[in-house]
Structure 1
Amino acid sequence: MGQGHGHGHSDEDYDWSALGEHLERNAEVHRDFLDQVMDWLRGQVDEPARILDVGSGPGVAACALAETFADAEVVAADRSPELLALARKRAARLGVRIETLEADLPEAFGELGPADLIWTSGVMHHIGDQQEALNQLGALLRPGGVVAVVEGGLPLRFLPRDIGIGRPGLQARLDVAQEDWFTAMRAGLPGSTKTVEDWPAMLARAGLMPSASRTFLVDLPAPLDTEPRRLLRDMLVRQREMLGDRIDAEDHAVIDRLVHDDDRASVLWRPDVYMLNARTVHSARRLGER
């Protein structure tokens, strides 16, 4: 669930507690997505003995995988000991069994060990050479094993085109600014390598047989409950800081109102806020009998 936490930045840039809270809230709001994907994965892989959640963050997907494949050894691998501690707490709270592995990804891919199922969500785009990352993950798969990569989909929609303040079309402008920021972020990653982001083709180049790409819809209509509203508020706060002068002063002023706790135009209060999101999972299999 977008659990990659920016491998292009130093750990000192992060408030791990706040990040972990955000990632867990994001996963809870998108729980229907995770439930759908877990049901789908049951048909993709037969009784995996060992599962890796690569770039696991606070272990939301790892715990879901442990619930889905109760007999498997599930390993949550991440570079952050703080997030792995949250993963262990989450597993204990849910009564599921996972192991955690602190690994400086992507350099430590080779230390993760073999697996029958590899899950990685929102992590590949934080790695400079995405193709090489897939090559290394593919090499970890046992014969018959499956890798599931969550990348792509459609931008989140949560407001009408005209929200009654500022110029109509705020989200479309944020999309353009986000794409510009994303391109610059990718260019600044260590070992950044341009590639056509055709994930099935990239998985095939990693020596795997692409098996399926499926997009899952998260549709939470208005009026939203409190937790999705808080998630949107936090997302807009980060987006405002991240995009900086890529958005103009008028849009900054609108976002200031959208994230204000006491403004009735805020996403915390306005009745027209919804969440519509599409996330794509690409899977591929290593050929051979287990």
Structure 2
Amino acid sequence: MAHPAPQPHTPEPHGTQPHHHGHEHEHGHGQSHANDSHGSHGHRHPEGADPQDGLAEMLDLDAELFAAHLANLTERLAHLAGDGVTQVVDLGAGTGTGTFALLERFPAARVTAVDNSPVMLARLRASADARGAGDRVHTLETDAGTGLPGVTDADLVWASASLHHMDDPATALAEIRAALRPGGLLAVAELDGLPHFLPEDVVPERPGLEVRCRTALDALHAEQVPHLGADWRVLLTAAGFTVEEEHTEVLELRAPFPADAGRYAYLVLNRIRGTLDGRVDPVDLTALDALLDGGPGDVRHRDDLVVRSTRRTWTARRPADRP
């Protein structure tokens, strides 16, 4: 499940559909939310810059760094789904990481890419056309928690780093269930927040800097994204699904990194930074700023980063014998 990197959460009208955050996009892969710690507000952008550009770049870099993880997930999903998958929904499609992974894994399928951002859907459409896959992708701009108009008898719904944004998970899951055919699969992928990057002593005079920033961010998430970290097995079962698989994977990447790993760390930490004013010691903010200011200690130039991310997945089936 492509998880967009979760992103720092800041006050934003989430409604019931994932918004453009990227925690993460985490996070992550293929989500415009994500990506989690969420929110496209609260972080800093150069004067005149489009914040969606930075979010899209972050989601794409997350997908690049964790491509092997995504490939393993879709392989497991294909084993459960079996042959004959022709109708797939990518819920919270973002830049399309999940959409294109699903198109590759299920060569006979068409994918409906769902998002509430016309900007992200336009990017995804352009990418699909450039890949020669335009005839296999349909885009749907909607708030997924209120329904999936026109979507029926789907073989598979993929929800990566998106369901925790729903105001009412029970209603959202009921709508997803209605869009699936009997026996169809729902794959839920979630992150525990944005990836971690910094060693304990990254700023020697402020040991534990990232831990303190994350603690403040967790408190913000508890207020604004109460379903982040939810036990989706319980929620899926209550919604009438049968959970068939559940996995928790702790991913860790160490140097030597791909060339853009430092850029990815910068984008994620910059999103976090914008949410922390008034929530952490100003001395910590100054220390964090020094890691993002383009100087010799900037995360884009360091070789001591470690990219850590915890990702959980649940695969559940709509029972074949119940409406």
Scaled by the length of structure 1, the TM-score of the pair is 0.88
The change in CA–CA distance for 1:162 and 1:195 in structure 2 (over 3 A counts) is: closer
Q: How many residues of Structure 1 are paired with residues of Structure 2 in the alignment?
A: 283
Which of 226, 234, 253 matches 2:286? 253
Give % identity: 30
One-letter amino acid of the structure 2 residue matched with residue 66 of structure 1: L
Q: Which runs of 5+ in 2 are unaligned?
A: 21-39, 42-49
Select which of 34, 56, 81 maps to 2:93. 56
CA contact (8 A) 1:223 1:274 kept: no
Structure 1 residues 154, 127: CA separation in 2 closer, same or farther (over 3 Å shift)? closer
What is the CA-CA distance between 1:245 and the residue it aligns to?
1.5
Q: Which residue of 1 aligns with 2:34?
A: none
The equivalent residue for 1:229 is 262
Map 1:138-149 → 2, pairs under 5 A: 138-149=177-188
Equivalence for 2:80: 44
What is the deviation of 1:204? 0.6
Q: Which residue of 2 aligns with 1:284?
A: 316
1:43 aligned counterpart, secondary structure:
helix
| Counterparts of 2:161 and 2:151, CA distance in 1 | 18
User: 1:26 — aligned with what?
Assistant: 62
The aligned residue for residue 156 of structure 1 is: 195
Distance in 2 (CA, whole Å) between partners of 1:124 and 1:7 is 15
Task: Determine if contact 2:246/2:313 at 8 Å carries over to the other structure.
Answer: yes
Equivalent residue, structure 1, for 2:230 = 197
Would you tell me which structure has more helix in proportion to its own residues? Answer: 1
Q: Secondary structure at the match of 1:243?
A: coil
Following superposition, the deviation at residue 7 of structure 1 comes to 5.3
Question: Cα deviations across residues 135-155 of structure 1 (Å, max 9, x unaligned)?
Answer: 221222111111011124476
Alignment check: 8 A CA contact 1:63 1:90 kept:
no
Q: Deviations over 1:220-274 (max 9, x none)?
A: 212433311111101111101022221211111111111122x221111122112
* Contact 2:90–2:112 (Cα < 8 Å) also in 1: yes
Over 3 Å counting, the alpha-carbon distance change for 1:105 and 1:72 in structure 2 is: same
**Separation of aligned partners in 2, 1:281 and 1:62:** 17
Partner Cα separation in structure 1 for residue 182 and residue 74 of structure 2: 21
Deviations 1:89-128 (A, max 9, x none): 2223334332211223322335433311000111112111
- Corresponding position of 1:66: 103
What is the TM-score with the length of structure 2 in the denominator? 0.79
Work out the CA distance in 2 between the residues paired with 1:267 and 1:15: 20
1:8 maps to 14
Instruction: State which of 240, 252, 259 in structure 2 corresponds to 1:207.
Output: 240
From the superposition, tell whether residues 200 and 234 of structure 1 become closer, same or farther in structure 2 (CA, over 3 Å): same
